[in-house]
Chains A and B, each alone.
Chain A
Amino acid sequence: MTALPPIFQDWFTSRGWTIHPHQQAMLDQAASPALMLIAPTGGGKTLAGFLPSLIELADGRHEGLHTLYVSPLKALAADIKRNLRRPVEEMGLPIRIEDRTGDTTYTQKRRQRADPPHILLTTPESLALLTSYEDAPRIFKGLQRIIVDEIHALAESKRGDQLMLALSRLQTLAPDLRRVGLSATVEDPAAIARQLTRHPDPCDIINADPGPDPDIAMLVTQERPPWSGGGAKYAIPAVLEEVKKHKTTLIFHNTRAQAEIFFHNLWLANTDDLPIGIHHGSLAREQRERVEAAMVAGQLRAIVCTGSLDLGIDWGDVDLVIQVGAPKNVKRLVQRIGRANHRYNAPSKALLVPANRFEVVECIAALEAVKAHDLDGDPKGGGPRDVLCQHILITACAGPFDADALYREIRTVGAYRDLSRAAFDDCLDFCATGGYALRAYDKWKRLLQTADGRWQLRDPRAAQRIRMNIGTIQDTDTLKVRMKGNYKPLGEVEEAFAATLTPGDTFLIGGQVVRYENLKEMTVEVSRRADKTPKIATFMGTKFANSTQLSQRILRMFDQADWPELPAHTAEWLGLQRKFSKLPEADRILVESFPHEGRHHLCVYGFAGRNAMQTLGMLVTQRMEELNLHPMGFVATDYATLIWGLDPVTDPTPLLQPDNMRADFETWLSGNAVMKRTFRGAATIAGLIERNLPQARKSGRQATFSSDILYDTLSKYDPDHLMLRITREEAMRGLVDFGRIEEMLTRTAGRIDHLNLDRVTPLSLPMFLEQGRIAVAGAGRERLMEEEAARLMAAAGVSSL
């Protein structure tokens, strides 16, 4: 056992602490080249990660960078800096700690490169950027440890892949580098360990005491949850009561839009003027920082927030977590609950607030899963090649590289261990020449081979543009929002949302109602409004998919004769669905037809998960198109697909016929919106589409044309191009999830119950408020556009000029 040095022992003693067993274990195994700690929040996980670094740095002899700390969130880096400085200052250790994120100033960043601190706290994107500089070898020389915090969250996304690629680079620059991963409780620690380690080296795993089960329940309200909607406005009085009863409450929402609406309504009802703040990723940085500072200072009684506060941030006195809206994923719920009550070995307290009746069912299913320790998770595929392309470009920015050496280095990344040389060469060719069948860019290659066979940028100035576009986060294009005549932004909205606004429309941002004035220099200008309710309720936001396990639990629940575990109103609602229509069953597909607002609706309950249900929507509307049923659009949730169109569907059987579904699927794959969206993501990451351009967009004219045009052109002239292959594979795995459609069709074996009803059914109600409606670009849309144009022409009283 490695004993704590006296100065550390004294510090622990002075605070009345003893070292936790897992902190001791981390110390004992500090020499391990790869080490992962699994610990619940509040278990002193961060200190356990940093303790070996602090001890190694205590004698003041190490020069330059010693430890890199990488976290998925900027806020987390800032927070850790605060928490780490305390022991360092109290023990008087000669250790310099700094953070470096997208928010760090330019001057500070330059200084950090010239004179790196001992401990640098950063994000995967900022680290990738650092490795792109020519002086990366000097910056990282002597680097001893890298700590990847919340690795379970990173491991699920392309950000994790990018980070691990950067790590392989760092390992070459600093061969003694030891890797440490800190993770919350996950269903498969070994899978994450394989991603962390240098392949094929083993990775040691330390499991901390998971602590007591959380104290978690559904919030009981006087008011009934509404039939539909996501705002949970009905629960505001009950939530306010809970806020009053606790020191500090975090109120989580699944989307930014919901957080905005809830916050707004909370303030309208907050007659006691309790200090309540809002925090989400669309808000301007200054605003977020103000809330964070107020929270740390203990000035806030509650924060309405989204996933931007989701990960391991130590806010100290949080004693209640409220989750508004169904958690969608049990693992995320458990991690969120970990926010509450950071005292080790004390149960965390959490309340679930379903936003509507369907979510009551989802919440109860999630509660049962938490009790059963039934965490969900999906296996991850091989390393994505769009991220690899970006990595090659980043490598080229740092200077000439040898392709063989780079290939060997990439294969040490767990996710890329099976990458073939041919696949690597494809990516290199894409970066160098565009990889087109028509070799059009011989004169203007992006990468050239030098006389010694190494690769380098043709034009070194291109490095700036590549650096500006580093990152894999797929935020949809956003526009800044600011008050007219005021420079400071209020926050951001998605471009697609901004496009729907006309002057005079009001919407919510940063908890206030604003009026859309105009679009100026790619910024949305607004003015303040005293209105209580915005005309346009929401802007879009990220959505989580329900896990398979939760869907299965819900279907089992539907099968019960009655539902004593559900609140009366929800049991009653399911009863109504059973009376007026039918409850979906696991081995049958329920299809409902009904009219609504002048459109014919078709609701297919497949319970195959959001992505597969979305694909089903695509396939069914394609078949409707062929049958001249004029589908207009659809929306998918985890349990159903709702389709609307100009004509009624009398028999859904041919629409759900498994024969030819695979063939239809192949045809459909080439030309649909999901593919285009997937393409856009992959092409942006791989460097074919630039998100950020050196000069600010001034004119309001689109600086780039739509990625759809690139997709269509490639599909037509170069169908085997790398970007299209990546798009197809990704769509199959992620957004398309065709496997689960086939599974659903096999499971139900043609047993379809079609019910013709005269109105919206209880179970389909929540579908009408779902975001993410997808328009079908077919004859129906053309017909509608013509009708609309004719109507406008008539209304304007002109047939022509």
Chain B
Amino acid sequence: MNAYNFDFCGTRCCALPSGALYLPEHAVLCVSDLHLGKSERIARRSGVMLPPYEVQETLQKLETDITTTQPRQVICLGDSFDDLDAANSLDEDARLWLTRLQAGKSWVWIEGNHDPGPVDLGGTHRSQMTIGTLIFRHIATAETAEVSGHYHPKHRVAGRSRPAFLYDAHRLIMPAYGAYTGGLSSQAADLRKLFSGQIIAIMTGHKAIPVPV
């Protein structure tokens, strides 16, 4: 597999090239910032109609990761939906698909700034949760041993910029998993101030590649 294994705050972690995080000791798969329904929200608000296939694309990717890792639990780390209207207007195919993915496993929707309320799509809704030594929430705080999303970090190596995991000794920030998500450069001050000491970026893409920031 093209994943990258590392220890983070005492928990064994595996960064998948897709941008998902797998915790083998707990059989937990975590994905962040799916932004499902983004094209629908953009059309509603601006009139610009992007190719309406990003839900399919994102769910297909998620299904592949679930098939590969066979998790007991899936954590969607916030901003799973581009807004609550988008969550409520997911088409029937997408709803059935999600239900299929949820079958036989515990599914947790962590709330994000785009999707603060509960959604009518199965699974449980939480503001944050703890797995082993790690705490999972959408937006990073000062707390250590924390896994969060929200910033959509990207990193540039050898001239190529890609979504990337960023972590130091205390926190890990996940890349955006959704198909239509932009990103924030790892150099941005908003991101840099969250970290201290050596930061490692794990590039997504064909293979998860670690690189010092």
Q: Are A690 and B48 in contact (CB under 8 A)?
A: yes
CB-CB under 8 A for A705 and B52, given A446-B47, A781-B160: no
6 pairs, A vs B, C-beta closer than 8 Å: A434-B49, A705-B181, A788-B211, A789-B210, A792-B211, A796-B198
Residues of A within 8 A of B63 (CB): none
Most central of B47, B50, B53, B158 by chain A CB within 10 Å: B47
Contact of A444 among B44, B158, B169, B181 (CB under 8 A): B44
B182 touches A440 (CB 8 A): no
Q: Please give, as numbers and ranges, the residues of chain A lying within 8 Å of B209 by CB-CB distance.
A: 785-786, 789
B180 to A702, Cβ gap below 8 A?
A: no
Size band of the A side of the interface? 35 or more
Closest to A782 in B: B206
- The count of A-to-B residue pairs whose CB atoms sit within 8 angstroms is 138
Question: Is B157 at the interface (CB under 8 A from chain A)?
Answer: yes
Docked Cα-Cα span, A431 to B96, in Å, equals: 30
0 or 1 for each of B171-186: is its CB under 8 Å from A? (1 = yes): 0000000011111110
Chain A contacts of B207 at CB under 8 A?
A: 782, 786
B53 in complex: contacting residue of A438, A444, A782, A798, CB < 8 Å: A438
Max count, chain B CB within 10 A of own CB: residue among A466, A716, A800: A800
- Determine if B1 is an interface residue (Cβ-Cβ < 8 Å): no
Q: Is the CB of A713 within 8 A of B51?
A: yes
Indicate if A594 sits at the interface (CB-CB under 8 A): no
Interface set of B (CB-CB < 8 Å, partner A): 6-8, 39-40, 43-44, 46-54, 56-57, 89, 91, 152, 156-161, 167-169, 179-185, 188, 190, 198, 200, 203, 205-207, 209-212
Chain A residues near B (Cβ < 8 Å): 433-434, 436, 438, 440-441, 443-444, 446, 457-459, 462, 465-466, 499-500, 687-690, 699-705, 709-710, 713-714, 716-718, 721, 775, 781-782, 784-786, 788-789, 792-793, 795-796, 798, 800-801
Q: A800-B6, A801-B168 are in contact. Are A785 and B160 (CB under 8 A)?
A: yes
Closest 6 CB pairs of A and B: A434-B49, A440-B52, A702-B182, A462-B47, A796-B212, A789-B211
Q: How far is the CB of B113 from chain A (nearest CB, A)?
A: 13
CB nearest to B55 among chain A residues: A440
Contact of A688 among B50, B158, B188 (CB under 8 A): B50
Choose one: A436, A443, A703, A705; the contact of B180 (CB below 8 Å).
Answer: A705
Q: Tell which of B49, B91, B161 touches A499, judged by Cβ atoms closer than 8 Å.
A: B161
Q: How far apart are A264's CB and chain B's nearest CB, in angstroms?
A: 26
B49 interface neighbour in A446, A716, A801, Cβ under 8 Å: A446
Are A718 and B210 interface neighbours, CB within 8 A?
A: no
- Chain B residues, CB < 8 A from A717: 51, 53, 56-57
Rounded to whole angstroms, the CA-CA distance of A792 and B49 in the bound complex is: 42
Q: Are B210's CB and A721's CB within 8 A?
A: no
Other-chain residue from A459, A701, A785 in contact with B183 (beta carbon distance below 8 A)? A701
Q: Are B46 and A703 in contact (CB under 8 A)?
A: no
Instruction: Name the residue of chain B whose CB is nearest to the CB of A777.
Output: B160
Task: Determine how close the nearest CB of chain B comes to the CB of A449; give it in whole angstroms.
Answer: 16
Bound-state CA distance A786–B203 (Å) is 10
| Residue from the list A441, A457, A784, A786 in contact with B43, Cβ < 8 A | A441
CB-CB under 8 A from B43, the residues of chain A are: 434, 441, 444, 446
Contacts of A775 in B (CB 8 A): 159-160
Q: Which residues on B sit within 8 Å (CB–CB) of A436?
A: 49, 51-52
Bound: A775/B160 CA distance, A: 10
Contacts of A792 in B (CB 8 A): 157, 211-212
Please report the C-alpha to C-alpha distance between residue A565 and residue B45 in the assembled complex, in whole angstroms. 65
> For A462, what are the chain B residues with a Cβ–Cβ distance below 8 Å?
46-47
- Apart from A785-B157, A798-B198, list 8 A-B contacts with CB within 8 A: A436-B49, A436-B52, A443-B89, A702-B184, A709-B180, A713-B57, A714-B51, A792-B212
